[in-house]
Amino acid sequence: MRKCIVLFLLGFYSIAVYAHPMPSSVVKLSVLDSYIKGEAKMPLPELESALGHPIASVNTALFTSYFINHIQAVSKSGEWHTTIQSITTNDAQDEAVGKYRQVIVQFTLTPANVNDLRTFTFKYDAIIHQVVTHKALIYIEQDWNNGIQNESGARQAGIIGMDIASGKIYPLQVSLEEGSAWKGFKNMLQLGMRHIKEGTDHLLFLIVLLLPAMLLPEKKEWGKFGGITYSVTNLLKIVTAFTIGHSITLLLGAMGWVRLPGQPVEVLIAVSILVSAAHAMHPIFPRREIFVAGGFGLIHGLAFASVIANLDLGVRQLVLSVLGFNLGIEIMQLLVIIMIVPWLMLLSVNPGYKWFRIGASLLAVVAACGWITERLTIEPNIITTIVDKITPYAGWIILLLMAVSITIYLVKMLSRKTALS
C-alpha cells in the first residue's frame, strides 16, 4: 500500500510540474547482421525529473553509464553488450507541449550469439524507473529480411511503462519473423521503383533530354524527324548511358567508396535539368547526348546511393539491395519511357512539335530554377510548391499527351486522304 502511495505521489508531482504531460520516449531499433542499432529520444525535462536535478550537459561519462544500465537486452544466450555511441540534445516540437529540449541516445546491442537477434527481451527503463507516468514507445525501424526499411516506415513493437498495480516495469518481449533474402530483395526493388516514381527531378532530366532525340541536328538547329530507326537507336543510347552512369555511382556510393554531401548533389541534379532543357531548345551538344546522359547519370546515382548507404547493411544484404534497388529504378524508368516516347515520336513528325518542345523545355527550366533555389536556401518556394501539387496528376498529363498526339496524327492522315481524293 505504501509503495502505491509513493508511486502515485511521484506521478502526481511529475504532472504538476508541467501543465501538459511531456511526450513519451521513442525508441527505434534496427536489426543488422550481427547487432541491433538503436536510437532513443526522450524529453530532457522528464530526464531531469527522473534524476532530481537540472542537467547542464548530457555528454558525460555519468550519462553514458546511466544509459548503459537502463538500455539492455537479454536472450537465451545471456546478457547482451550495450554500447552508447553518442548522447546529444536538440529542440523538438509537440502539439500539446510546444517547443522543448530532447535527449537523443544512439546505442548498439550486441548478443553473444547472432542467432538471438530475432528473439530477445528488451529491458528499457530510462526515466520510467522514477517518473511513473512516462512511457517508451518501441519501434522496429529496420529489418531487412522482413522488408522494413527507414523509408517505408517503422513498425511499433510495443510500449514499456510502469505497471502501477505491481510497481514493476515489465520488459518487452521481441519476436521477429525470420523473413528471407527474397523478401528483402523484393522490398528493395519496390523501393527503387517508388524512388523513381516520386523522384520527379530524375525523370524530368531524362524526359527533357529525350525531347529532341528523334530530331536531326541541322545548321545548329533542330531539324526534321530522323525516322523510326534513328529515333529508337538514339533513345536507347541515351537511356543506356544514363543507366550505366547512375549504376556506377549507385554501387560506389552504397559501398561507401564515394560520398558527397547531399545538398550539392541535389543542386547538381537540378542543374542537369537546366542543361538538358537548354539542349532541347537549341542543340548544344548534338550527337553527344550519350556523354551528357552518362555524366549526369553519375550525379543522379549518388542521390540513389544515399538511400542504401543509410541502411548500414552487411555485405550480402548490401549486394542484394544494390541489385534490387537498381532493377527497380530501371523498371520504373522503362515504364515511364514506354508511356511517353511513342507520343513524342508521333508529335515530332509535325512542324508544330518545335513549339511543344520549346514550351516543355521552358517549363523544365522554371522547375529546375525552383529546385535550385529550394536546395540552396533549404526553403520551399512557390515554384516547387506548384510542382509538388501537379506531380500527382502526371498520369493524366501523359493521357492528355497521348490524346493530343493521336488526334494530330489522325487529322494529318485525313487531310492527306482528302488531298489525294
Instruction: Give the number of domains in the chain.
Output: 2
pLDDT digits (tens, 9 = 90+) for 288-316: 899 999 999 999 999 988 888 878 888 88
Task: Considering only residues 17 and 222, tell me which one the structure prediction assigns the higher pLDDT.
Answer: 222
Rounded alpha-carbon distances, angstroms, from residue 369 to 82, 282, 358, 363, 373? 48, 19, 16, 10, 6
**How many whole angstroms separate alpha carbon 313 and alpha carbon 378?**
29
User: Residue 70 — pLDDT band, cuts 50, 70, 90?
Assistant: very high
Which residue intervals of 310-393 are DSSP H helices? Answer: 315-348, 353-377, 382-390
Mean pLDDT of the chain: 89
Average pLDDT on 352-374 reads 95
pLDDT digits (tens, 9 = 90+) for 92-102: 988 877 899 99
Task: Considering only residues 388 and 96, tell me which one the structure prediction assigns the higher pLDDT.
Answer: 388
- Assess whether 149 and 186 both reside in one domain: no
Instruction: With a cut of 60, say whether residue 192 has pLDDT above it.
Output: yes
Q: Which helix (H) or strand (E) holds 21?
A: none
- Assess whether 322 and 401 both reside in one domain: yes
pLDDT digits (tens, 9 = 90+) for 120-164: 999 999 999 999 899 999 999 999 988 887 655 678 999 999 998
Average pLDDT on 247-260 reads 89
User: Residue 286 — pLDDT band, cuts 50, 70, 90?
Assistant: confident
Task: Considering only residues 60 and 380, tell me which one the structure prediction assigns the higher pLDDT.
Answer: 380
pTM of the model: 0.79
Region of poorest pLDDT, from 10-19, 66-75, 387-396: 10-19
pLDDT digits (tens, 9 = 90+) for 41-55: 999 999 999 998 888
Of 147, 179, 211, the domain-final residue? 179
Give the pLDDT score at 362.
Answer: 96
User: Residue 106 — pLDDT band, cuts 50, 70, 90?
Assistant: very high
The angle at the Cα of 28, spanning 22 to 30, to the nearest 5 degrees, equals: 175
- Assess whether 163 and 273 both reside in one domain: no
- Assess whether 175 and 198 both reside in one domain: no
- Assess whether 260 and 153 both reside in one domain: no
Of 150, 179, 208, the domain-final residue? 179
- Assess whether 125 and 236 both reside in one domain: no
- Assess whether 246 and 155 both reside in one domain: no
Nearest to 92 by CA among 30, 161, 27, 25: 25
- Strands 215-218, 172-175: pairing is unpaired
Of 179, 199, 225, the domain-final residue? 179
- Assess whether 374 and 231 both reside in one domain: yes
- Assess whether 153 and 257 both reside in one domain: no
Give the pLDDT score at 262.
Answer: 87
User: Residue 421 — pLDDT band, cuts 50, 70, 90?
Assistant: low
- Assess whether 89 and 186 both reside in one domain: no
Give the pLDDT score at 152.
Answer: 56
Domain of residue 270, residue span? 182-420
User: Residue 229 — pLDDT band, cuts 50, 70, 90?
Assistant: very high
- Assess whether 158 and 289 both reside in one domain: no
